Chains A and B, each alone.
Chain A
């Protein structure tokens, strides 16, 4: 029904999709699987008209089509349900479903009655027995997901794309979702189902398509394939990156974390981090892997003093008991955090290179209570040279540099504080291969100089390339600790896939 031929999509130097070919059939659920960054979301955004700019061709019911907007795709009968919910909380279900396509009477006023009746029909079809006039903010997340689906079904769609529909909902809600999908399949719709949770695919999907590094690797029937084969297909790339050679470093303990818990910001009785205990030694690179929502970022943030009120447990750095209450505390005790969102949290984009680098160490460039321009430029020049930051001058605005160079600025500003423990959250996301390798080398070099390093990454090859030890998290729990010599991609992935999910499927 929907066929993609040779789709290629490039973003500023990075090839996100490379000649992808695939087919989605009517009356079948096709699972699109692949690691983070394999290109799943990009592909879906092309199919649903979010990115009108790409090479290749899409054929829909035999006709070549090219969507210039989401509206365009919707009109043709392709609907997408995004991973993030796009609902307006203070409007009712009806108002949300009809947003932008309201039914009007011939006087030009809203025909609320007609819209309510239509909403009622949709909700009945999706088995959500709730008054259409309920505000979305009063619904549970799973119910909101259903409203999103109703939105997609309002326009008769032949293809329905679901991006990680179960990432935010409970198990009983998943069961409801699956019966709805089943009904849609019987109505001869083509359903595209993207999910990290491999186990649920065996319950719901008929076909699979594997994407890896922006290429379509393989497709086939879910019949007769098992979990491990699927994982192998997902990750089975040549491992050509440098592996961390084990150094003869006499590892002394540096960081030790005991029973760290973090309360959920809204659901207070629930914990986002559950009794996390681990250690990082001097000169060691510890890789922390987990799927989206596993709690990796929350762990780093808690250690860095960003959630002092919700966080409990014991943290020792260099033998001293610390549980930082503010980032300033954390920095003082010798920690540094390179955050996940470089542009928002890592840098002040509107400031120049040298002001960004000196921001963490302003007291060091003071002279008689005033900031010394000379000292500041000297400091910046040192790091620009050491880290090979490509910039016309230290006075260049950070906004104008490439992702890799921006990340090096963030690293510089932290190295300037002489940290004992360097925490990095997705340090190479959106960075080109060369800069990636430079950052890997830098990380290994810093470790050799005795720094303890904790790297969060959702890219397995990255974890395997630079870590001495791999920690795996899933649903706020530390599920595995593996020496890098024993770590393989499928061992790690198995530990990362949510337990609750696989158990439910077995029952």
Chain B
């Protein structure tokens, strides 16, 4: 079959981020012989797995036409809670008691913390009709402050080998964080494509009033989405904490920006209703490869930021144009 304009246009549109990624990899590998190695491959994937976790939740939020600015702080607090409980437990001197936490218990507590903060975001947004931007901006500050209070401003370190396995270990030849983020992505793909929740998320983003009239409980879906986003940010927090073997009070600062960038580069519309999890994964990989490549090429960190900014602009411009063509 001949590739006429009408047949290859949709092909280009569909795979534009993959094509961009391919060109990017090709370019970097021509310029640096350290890029195309097995070690670097796993290195890049391991690095992006945190952003993939966060951005999966962010995608769900953005699909409902919302945004979550608090993910970085929520990540920090959740990681710190897990680290703190693991290391110190909860001593209650007055009753001469000490509550210790197993590894699993401490991790669950961290994830619960993140989910609770996400739930609070959703509650504030639906109950008081706050714009998501404002509600989650407030949470960004609140969660960061709580992190400082919990850690008293110092890193919590020395968390043990079994915990650091989560961020640095290997399983069947693949890094554990890659397993974990892959699992999360697989579940999110299933939810968005194959469940009522996923369908309602797209419907709300596409037209909230049409979804409401169709009997969709808008508030409940939004609460669920923000809670999931908080929970996934917490899992990202576990990965960061585990990799560094330390919970830093200022961990995750400005992670929300990388996450939104991944979502946007992945073709999800900030006005909601259009986009996909796999698109976001591609976006996260593009950012990851770009970061890695710029480091390998010895580009100064200051220039890296400039380049990243332009890539985001370019991605959104291309996306706008394809949207118009549809």
Q: Which A residues lie at the B interface, using CB under 8 A?
A: 304, 306, 326-328, 330-332, 337, 339, 344-351, 355, 358-360, 362-363, 366, 369-371, 397, 413
B117 within 8 A of A: no
Cβ contact of A359, chosen from B195, B199, B217, cutoff 8 A = B199
Cβ contact of B207, chosen from A328, A331, A344, cutoff 8 A = A344
Q: Which of B195, B200, B203, B210 has the largest count of A CB atoms less than 10 A from its CB?
A: B210
> A395: shortest Cβ distance to chain B, in Å?
13
Q: Is A327 a contact partner of B206 (Cβ separation < 8 A)?
A: no
**9 nearest CB pairs, A to B:** A348-B206, A328-B215, A370-B194, A331-B215, A345-B209, A348-B207, A362-B196, A359-B214, A350-B206
Q: Known contacts A359-B203, A362-B196, A362-B199; decide if A348 and B210 are in contact (CB<8 Å).
A: yes
> B134: shortest Cβ distance to chain A, in Å?
19
B residues 177-236 near A (Cβ < 8 Å) are 190, 193-196, 199-200, 202-203, 206-207, 209-217
Q: Is A344 a contact partner of B195 (Cβ separation < 8 A)?
A: no
Q: Is A351 a contact partner of B202 (Cβ separation < 8 A)?
A: yes
Q: Is A348 a contact partner of B215 (Cβ separation < 8 A)?
A: no
With the chains together, A306 CA to B215 CA distance in Å?
10
With the chains together, A272 CA to B222 CA distance in Å?
31
> B192: shortest Cβ distance to chain A, in Å?
11
B274 within 8 A of A: yes
Tell me whether chain B's interface is mostly helix, strand or loop, or mixed: helix
Cβ contact of B195, chosen from A306, A358, A369, A413, cutoff 8 A = A369
Q: Which B residues lie at the A interface, using CB under 8 A?
A: 190, 193-196, 199-200, 202-203, 206-207, 209-217, 273-274, 326
- Chain A residues with CB under 8 Å of B211's CB are 348, 359
Cβ contact of B210, chosen from A331, A344, A363, cutoff 8 A = A344
What are 24 contact pairs spanning A and B, CB under 8 A? A304-B213, A306-B212, A326-B217, A327-B212, A327-B213, A331-B215, A339-B213, A345-B207, A345-B210, A346-B210, A347-B210, A348-B203, A348-B211, A349-B206, A350-B206, A350-B273, A350-B274, A351-B203, A351-B206, A355-B203, A359-B199, A363-B196, A371-B194, A371-B195
Chain B residue nearest in CB terms to A414: B214
Q: Is B214 a contact partner of A327 (Cβ separation < 8 A)?
A: yes
Chain B residue nearest in CB terms to A398: B206
Q: Is A328 a contact partner of B206 (Cβ separation < 8 A)?
A: no
With the chains together, A332 CA to B214 CA distance in Å?
11
- Chain A residues with CB under 8 Å of B274's CB are 350
- Chain A residues with CB under 8 Å of B212's CB are 306, 327
With the chains together, A397 CA to B273 CA distance in Å?
13
With the chains together, A459 CA to B194 CA distance in Å?
43
Chain A residue nearest in CB terms to B193: A371
- Chain B residues with CB under 8 Å of A360's CB are 214-215
- Chain B residues with CB under 8 Å of A369's CB are 195
Q: Which of A344, A347, A359 has the largest count of B CB atoms less than 10 A from its CB?
A: A359
- Chain B residues with CB under 8 Å of A306's CB are 212-213
Extra contacts besides A345-B210, A359-B210, A371-B195 (13): CB < 8 Å = A327-B214, A328-B216, A330-B215, A347-B210, A348-B210, A351-B273, A358-B199, A359-B203, A359-B216, A360-B215, A362-B200, A366-B196, A397-B326
Q: Known contacts A362-B196, A371-B194, A371-B199; decide if A349 and B207 are in contact (CB<8 Å).
A: yes
- Chain B residues with CB under 8 Å of A339's CB are 213
- Chain A residues with CB under 8 Å of B273's CB are 348, 350-351
Chain B residue nearest in CB terms to A332: B215
Cβ contact of B213, chosen from A337, A355, A371, cutoff 8 A = A337
Q: Is B217 a contact partner of A328 (Cβ separation < 8 A)?
A: yes
Q: Which of A339, A347, A349, A351 has the largest count of B CB atoms less than 10 A from its CB?
A: A351
Cβ contact of A371, chosen from B196, B206, B214, cutoff 8 A = B196
With the chains together, A248 CA to B210 CA distance in Å?
37
> B293: shortest Cβ distance to chain A, in Å?
35
- Chain B residues with CB under 8 Å of A327's CB are 212-215
